[in-house]
């Protein structure tokens, strides 16, 4: 294939805003707030520590590398991409706290790393010592601007979304929202990533008020597809980039860079483990944390530091040339080392993380199950109360009222049994009930297709009724 050239600035602009926005949108605020101290420690302290360790290692090993370029490399590989880790954890018996920490860390660590990255790249382009850029002061300024812009955009979009009723228009506005937060923040000198995260948190908290059921169902599917495609595009681009580099570099240089990537991967894993276990020990010594991290939780968090799409996008976004037209120093080595780090962490840690979780026997979260069961019982009680009121209001519809009451009373019995003894025969009975309902829905689908095939109904009639059956099945499975 020919080499596929993409403007470096375009990669960060197109890829990062929607990925970080939707992650923030789906983040549970209560868990985020409860673990804010740990999240800040991981997303700021650990990212900065990882950046400086990698930069020091690169300066010690790579001849003629400058400090700005070394810091840029450290910033590129320092933020973990927790998509893979949370996908694994949610399928296994893992406490909700670990998933919340991973999700919260992934929201803020990108802003930290990309702020350092931009300062380092700007220093390399200007041939200026990186320390003269005032790293800490710069980080504070861009963070404040980013949060302010994100809050303003979230407020404006909330007003707009409450006035929309057309699903395609709602989804279009939803897709444009992360860019509406990212671009103004970048133009004002702030963190576009932090603006997109803030807007996502703000709107996610208000999604129940500003979105209808159709928009929620369709929007979730659209966003899942979009994030999947964006991740895929970035991985394809890095593959094409590596393929082109293998034709330009000799094998010895490639193996040397791959070896450096292995050393950096080991360093990143070690720094993360030391930081997290140190944080857990500190919590136990000073006894300030309401719930200190356990050894098992610290072990899982330490091994869940896979790198992914953010590091790829940042590596591809490194400029190819300096203002004078000369090549950017060590850009190709940055790409190769980043790819090696991602390969080692994503494949090595990603494939072994499920084994580690099973070996630790962490167990699920009983509090979450009880919260859900308690909420369902409350909703069923409210439904039965409202049914009693409607019986007086609609006396001519008593058969329907009785049918609804019987259905909700049956649900109430199941929820009470599951709440008192989760995992007992009531749960098995619920599974069997779902299978029975699924068989009934499948029979209706078969009959519907048969009517369409013999010409009794047209395709638009089939699709309308089929949508009703699909929604019924989704509700049953949920």
Rounded Cα gap, residues 10 and 196, in angstroms: 17
| Same domain for 394 and 350 | no
Q: Is residue 3 part of a domain?
A: no
| Proportion of the chain above pLDDT 70, given as a percent | 89
pLDDT at 160: 94
| Same domain for 443 and 347 | no
Q: Is residue 2 part of a domain?
A: no
Range with lowest mean pLDDT among 32-36, 85-89, 104-108, 401-405: 85-89
pLDDT at 230: 87
Q: Is residue 268 part of a domain?
A: yes
Q: Are 322 and 328 in contact (CB under 8 A)?
A: yes
Q: Are 306 and 85 in contact (CB under 8 A)?
A: yes
Which band of pLDDT confidence, cut at 50, 70 and 90, is reported for residue 384? Answer: confident
pLDDT at 222: 94
| Same domain for 397 and 298 | no
Q: Is residue 35 part of a domain?
A: yes
Q: pLDDT tens for residues 172-192?
A: 999 999 999 999 999 998 888
| Same domain for 456 and 357 | no
Highest-pLDDT range among 107-121, 127-141, 263-277, 445-459: 263-277
Q: Which has more confidence, 291 or 430?
A: 291
Mean pLDDT of 121-126: 78
Task: Point out the domain boundary residue: 422, 440, 466.
Answer: 422
pLDDT at 267 over 90: yes
Q: Are 429 and 421 in contact (CB under 8 A)?
A: no
Highest-pLDDT range among 228-237, 421-430, 439-448: 439-448
DSSP letters spanning 417-452:
HHHHSTTSHHHHHHHHHHHHHHHHHHHHHHHHHHHH
pLDDT at 367: 61
Do you know the residue count of the chain? 478
Listed in sequence order, the residues at least 6 apart from 421 whose beta carbon sits closer than 8 Å to its beta carbon are none
> CA 221, 227, 231: angle at the middle one, nearest 5?
145
Range with lowest mean pLDDT among 77-91, 126-140, 318-332, 369-383: 126-140
Predicted TM-score of the model (pTM): 0.78
Rounded Cα gap, residues 74 and 72, in angstroms: 5
Task: Point out the domain boundary residue: 331, 349, 364.
Answer: 364
pLDDT at 58 over 70: yes
| Same domain for 471 and 386 | no
Q: Domain range holding 380?
A: 366-422
Mean pLDDT of 399-423: 75
Q: pLDDT tens for residues 202-224?
A: 998 888 888 888 888 889 899 99
Q: Is residue 1 part of a domain?
A: no
| Same domain for 236 and 100 | yes
| Same domain for 238 and 107 | yes
pLDDT at 147 over 60: yes
| Proportion of the chain above pLDDT 90, given as a percent | 24
| Same domain for 346 and 439 | no
| Same domain for 299 and 209 | yes
| Same domain for 137 and 53 | yes
Q: pLDDT tens for residues 286-329?
A: 766 667 888 888 999 999 888 888 888 888 888 877 777 777 77
Q: Is residue 297 part of a domain?
A: yes
Q: pLDDT tens for residues 193-204?
A: 889 999 999 998
Q: Is residue 319 part of a domain?
A: yes
pLDDT at 1: 66
CATH, residue 209: 1.20.1530.20
Mean pLDDT of 41-68: 89
Task: Point out the domain boundary residue: 336, 364, 392.
Answer: 364
pLDDT at 421 over 80: no
| Same domain for 324 and 439 | no
Which band of pLDDT confidence, cut at 50, 70 and 90, is reported for residue 420? Answer: low
pLDDT at 91: 72
For 291, list phi and psi in degrees, rounded to 5.
Answer: -140, 90
Best CA proximity match to 38, nearest among 271, 288, 303, 368:
288
Cα 445 from chain centroid? 35
The number of distinct structural domains making up the chain is 3
Q: Are 414 and 426 in contact (CB under 8 A)?
A: yes
Q: Is residue 64 part of a domain?
A: yes
pLDDT at 184: 95
pLDDT at 373: 74
Listed in sequence order, the residues at least 6 apart from 212 whose beta carbon sits closer than 8 Å to its beta carbon are 165, 167, 170
End-to-end CA distance of the chain: 44
Mean pLDDT of 230-238: 82
Strand partners, 321: 327
Structure tokens at 133: 């850029």
Q: Which has more confidence, 372 or 26?
A: 26
Best CA proximity match to 179, nearest among 15, 6, 312:
15
| Same domain for 341 and 235 | yes
Mean of the per-residue pLDDT values of the chain: 84
């Amino acid at each position: 294939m020919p080499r596929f050239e993409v403007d470096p600035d375009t990669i960060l602009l197109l890829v990062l805003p929607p990925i970080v926005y939707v992650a923030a949108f789906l983040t549970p605020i209560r868990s985020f707030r409860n673990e804010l101290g740990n999240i800040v420690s991981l997303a700021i302290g650990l990212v900065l520590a990882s950046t400086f360790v990698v930069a020091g290692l690169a300066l010690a090993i790579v001849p003629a590398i400058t400090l700005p370029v070394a810091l840029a490399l450290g910033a590129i590989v320092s933020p973990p991409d927790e998509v893979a880790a949370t996908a694994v954890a949610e399928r296994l018996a893992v406490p909700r706290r670990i998933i919340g920490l991973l999700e919260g860390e992934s929201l803020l660590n990108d802003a930290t790393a990309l702020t350092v990255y931009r300062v380092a790249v700007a220093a390399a382009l200007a041939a200026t010592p990186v320390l003269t850029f005032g790293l800490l002061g710069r980080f504070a300024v861009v963070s404040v601007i980013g949060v302010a812009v994100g809050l303003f955009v979230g407020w404006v979009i909330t007003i707009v979304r409450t006035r929309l009723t057309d699903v395609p228009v709602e989804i279009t506005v939803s897709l444009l929202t992360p860019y509406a937060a990212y671009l103004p923040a970048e133009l004002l000198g702030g963190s576009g990533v932090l603006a997109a995260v803030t807007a996502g948190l703000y709107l996610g908290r208000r999604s129940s008020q500003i979105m209808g059921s159709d928009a929620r169902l369709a929007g979730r599917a659209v966003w899942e597809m979009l994030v999947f495609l964006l991740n895929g595009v970035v991985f394809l681009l890095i593959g094409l980039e590596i393929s082109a580099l293998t034709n330009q570099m000799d094998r010895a240089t490639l193996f040397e860079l791959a070896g450096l990537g292995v050393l950096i991967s080991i360093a990143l894993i070690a720094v993360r483990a030391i930081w997290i276990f140190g944080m857990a020990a500190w919590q136990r010594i000073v006894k300030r944390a309401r719930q200190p991290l356990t050894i098992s939780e610290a072990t899982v968090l330490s091994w869940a530091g896979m790198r992914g799409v953010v590091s790829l996008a940042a590596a591809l976004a490194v400029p190819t040339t300096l203002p004078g037209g000369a090549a950017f120093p060590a850009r190709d080595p940055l790409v190769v080392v980043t790819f090696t780090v991602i390969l080692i962490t994503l494949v090595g840690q990603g494939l072994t993380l499920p084994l580690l979780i099973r070996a630790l026997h962490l167990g699920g979260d009983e509090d979450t199950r009880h919260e859900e069961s308690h909420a369902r019982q409350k909703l069923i009680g409210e439904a039965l109360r409202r049914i009693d009121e409607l019986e007086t209001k609609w006396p001519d519809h008593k058969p329907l009222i009785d049918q609804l009451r019987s259905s909700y009373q049956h649900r109430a019995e199941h929820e009470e049994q599951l709440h008192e003894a989760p995992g007992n025969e009531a749960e098995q009975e619920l599974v069997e009930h779902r299978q029975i309902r699924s068989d009934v829905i499948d029979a209706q689908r078969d009959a519907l297709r048969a009517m369409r095939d013999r010409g009794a109904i047209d395709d638009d009639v089939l699709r309308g009724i089929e949508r009703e059956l699909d929604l019924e099945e989704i509700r049953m499975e949920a």
